[in-house]
Amino acid sequence: MPGEYEPHRGCVMIWPVRPGSWPYGAAKAQKTFAQIARAIAESERVWMLAAKEDANQVRAEFSADPDIQVLEIRTDDAWARDVGPTCVVNEAGQVRGIDWQFNAWGGEYDGLYAHWEQDDLAAFRICRALELDCYDARPFVLEGGSIHSDGQGTLLVTEACLLSRGRNPQLTKGEIEKTLKQYLGAEKVIWLPRGIYQDETNEHVDNVCAFVRPGEVVLAWTDDQSDPQWELSHASLEVLEQERDAKGRNITVHKLPIPRKPVCITEEELAGFSFEEGEEIRSAGERLAASYVNFYIANGSVIVPQFVDENDKPAAEILGNLFPERKIVPVYARPVIVGGGNIHCITQQIP
C-alpha cells in the first residue's frame, strides 16, 4: 500500500445526497464537495460517483472541469475512502484494488445506518469502472479511513476502531494484524490506542494521526488537559515515542493542534436532517470530531480543513512547512463534518 504523499493518478469522490447525513438537501455539502474536487483536479484526475438520477446534475456542475469525470455508481452515502477500494501496487507498478466488506462502521452492533448494501458494492464497482483487478477480502470488515500507510511497510491503526465489536469480533488482534499484512504488503502495524474524541467511526486513525513522509507523522494535539482529547492524544504519543517503523527508524511526531473551541452541531443544522429508521440520531450541542489531521494530499496541493477557529492558521502553517513542495488549500469544512465525517474520508486515492 503506497503512502498518500506518493504520485498517483487521482482520487474517487462521491456526490453527497443522503438526507440523514446532509441537511437541507445537501446544498452546503455539495458546494463544499465541488470546491474540494476542483482544487484536487488542478493536479490529478477526480472520479465523482453519482446515482443515475443525480448524474446529469453532477455532470452539469462540472461541465467546465475536464479532469472531473462522473461515474454512475450508486452508493448509500458519500464516504469514498471508507467504501472504495484500498489500492496496492507491485514492483512493476501494477495496481490492484482490495474490496473489504463494509458494514456502515459497525453493522448491527453500532453501525450508523441500517442499509449499506450499495456502499458494500462500491469498491468492486469502482474497480470495474477503472479497469482495476480486485482482491476479494471478504468477510474481513474494514474501512479505508481506519488504516494509514507510509508506503514502506508500516501501517498506523487504532485499537478503538479495529478491535471494535462491530468489525471482526471473531478474530484476535494478532489475526487482524496478520490479515492487514497479507493484503497490504505491510511488515509492521503500529496500534494507537484511541482516535479523535466523539468520532462516530469508532475513532479512525485518519482523523488523529497520519504519515507526512516515511518516519514522520502528525498527531492531533491539545495542551488543554481539561479537554477529553488530551488523554487520547497523550496515550498515542506514548506509543509513537516507543515504536520504530518497518525500517527500524524512530518516529518523529509533529503535534498538530485541534480547534481550540469545540465544534458542535446546532439546532438549526439538526432541523435540516431527515433520518431513516435504524439511522443514528444526532442531538443538538453534540461535539463533532473536528481535526486538521484529516487533510487530503493531492499531487500538487494539500487540502486543509478550516473551522473559523484561532488554530486554523497555525495548523495550515504547520502543514505548509511539512509539505513545502505543495500548495496549501484551506477549505471551510463544517459542511463536511456536520455530515459525520471529514475531508480525508470523502476521498480515496487511486495510484
Decide: helix, strand or coil at residue 243: coil
Rg, the chain, Cα only: 19
CA distance 23 to 271: 8
E strands, 194-309, in order: 209-213, 216-221, 252-257, 296-297, 301-306
What would the DSSP string read from start to end of 219-236? EEE---TTSHHHHHHHHH
Are the CB atoms for 31 and 16 separated by under 8 Å? no
Cα dist from 155 to 1, 167, 278, whole Å: 9, 18, 33
Give the three-state DSSP class for 289: coil
Cβ–Cβ under 8 Å, residues 127 and 85: yes
Query: Is residue 87 annotated as a catalytic residue, yes or no?
Result: no
> What are phi and psi for residue 13, nearest 5 degrees?
-130, 165
Cα–Cα distance between 78 and 124 in angstroms, integer?
Answer: 16
> 187 vs 74, 238, 257, CA distance in Å?
35, 21, 30
What distance in Å separates the CA atoms of residue 90 and residue 75, rounded to the nearest whole number?
29
Per-residue H/E/C for 159-204: HHHHCCCCCCCCCCHHHHHHHHHHHHCCCEEEEECCCCCCCCCCCC
> Among candidates 245, 242, 282, which has minimal Cα distance to 265?
282
Selecting among 11, 127, 209, 345, the annotated active-site residue is 345
Phi, psi (rounded to 5 degrees) for 205: -70, -30
The residues carrying an active-site annotation are 345
